[in-house]
Every structure is written in C-alpha cells, then in structure tokens.
Structure 1
Amino acid sequence: MAVERYRQAIPNTKPNDRSQTESKPETRTRKKIVGIKRTEAIVYITLLIMITVAAVFVLSSKMEAYELQSEITNIESEIATKNGEIDELNTEVTHLASYDRIYEKAGELGLDLDNGNVKVVERYGKN
C-alpha cells in the first residue's frame, strides 16, 4: 500500500513533459512583480503633491519672515539714528535758548536791559 501511495504521489512523466518540468524552475526563480492599483497611485501622487506644496509654503513663509525681520532691523537702526539726532538738536536748542546766551547776543546787538520797561502780560482766559 505504501508503494501505491508513493507512485500516486509521483506523476508519470513522459519525455515531452521534461521540457515543461525544466521550464518550471525558471518560473520559480522569477519574482512576481506586484503592481499598484490606480487608486493607490493617485493617493501616492496626491500625497507627494501635498508634501511638496507644504514644503514650498513653509519655505516661503520662512523667507517672508526673514525679509520682515531684516526690514524691522533696518527700521530700528534708522530710529536709533533719528533719536540720536533728536537728542543732539534738543541739546542745541537748550544751549541756544539759555538766558546767558540771549543776554550776550542782545549786548552784541546794542540792546540794554531796562527793568522799568518790562511789562507782565497775562494770557486771556486764564483763571
């Protein structure tokens, strides 16, 4: 019985069938390439496009932020320069408006201080 089962398990091969059995190892060594479906390809392409758009958006946002930061830095330096000029001009105004300088200029122009000729005027509407 065991021999009969063994013979049944082994198929009868004819000389013509050997060429078919010889070709089977070739097909066994070939790897089956699994293709992707159309919907999967669309999903992958959409994902790739979304990643690209997100990267471009992030890079453009960073570039815009960098430009704004450099503009802010330039404006702050201009403000510092203008504040320095304002301080210098305030110092000059304080010097030019000093009583001693005015009295000196009046003396150079031939004006004399006459206390009897000074009148105090009050502003209208002052309570």
Structure 2
Amino acid sequence: MANSARQYREYQTTEKVKKVKVVKHRTSTFTPGEKLIAMLFVAFICFASLQIITAQAEIYSTNKDIQDLETTIVNQQTVNHDLSIQVSQMSTYERVWEKAKELGLTLDETNVKVVQQP
C-alpha cells in the first residue's frame, strides 16, 4: 500500500502543477508618463534643430547679399573715380580754350568777369 499511496501523491502534485497557469504580465520598463516626457523631449530637439538650421540659412543668405552689395559698391566707386578723372582732364584750361576756338568764340579781355570761389 505504500507504493500506491506514493503514486497517488505524485499524481496529485503533477496534476496541480498542470492546472495552475502562471500568467506573466509584461511590464514595460518605462511608465506612460516617462514615455510622454521622452516624446516631448524628442519633439523639442527636432523643433530646436529646425530653428537652428533655418537661422543659419538666413544668416548665409544675408551674408551673401552683403557680399554682393560690397562688390557692387566697389565697382561703382571705381566707375566714379574714373569719371572724376575724366572730369578733371576735360576741365583743363587748354581743353576749354580749344573747344571755344572750335565753336568760334574769341577772348575779349574787356568782357571778362572774375568769379571768386566762396
């Protein structure tokens, strides 16, 4: 009888083990609040990156415009300097006298007026 009792106990223990199902709940390592905070942080980083890139693009565009304007100013200054040299060459006394002779003007010393500079 000892053997049959032992078999019955073994049968009971194996049957109980089979009936009891262990339900494992998967728990995430992060809480929903932590997930929300992480998503907000990632969104903020993306937004800040976009703002920095936009600002750098505007700075680059502005610097390019400034360099173009500086080039235009240098070219205009060169043209102005050349024109001032031409004016000084064309306003010499000899050239004015030659043009006056070509147009048939004569120098009448009695009809000369002196203009003083202020």
Bucket of the pairwise TM-score, normalised by the shorter protein: 0.7 to 0.9
Alignment correspondent of 2:10 = 14
Normalised TM-score (structure 1)? 0.69
Is the partner of 1:34 in helix, strand or coil?
Answer: coil
Deviations 1:52-109 (A, max 9, x none): 0010000000000011111111111111111111111111111121111101111112
Question: Aligned partners of 2:12, 2:65: CA distance in 1, in Å?
Answer: 86
Aligned identity (percent) is 25
Mapped partners of 1:84, 1:121: distance in 2: 32
- Aligned partner of residue 112 in structure 1, secondary structure: coil
Match of 1:58 among 52, 63, 74: 52
- 1:89-104 matches, within 5 Å, as 89-104=83-98
Q: Distance in 1 between matches of 2:34 and 2:77?
A: 64
Residue ranges of structure 2 left out of the alignment (5+ in a row): 1-8
Structure-2 separation of matches of 1:114 and 1:70: 60
Alpha-carbon separation, structure 2, partners of 1:16 and 1:83: 107
2:59 matches 1:72: no
Residues 63/16 of structure 1: CA separation in 2 closer, same or farther (3 Å cut): farther
Structure 1: give runs of 5+ residues left out of the alignment.
Answer: 1-12, 22-26
Residue matched to 1:8: none
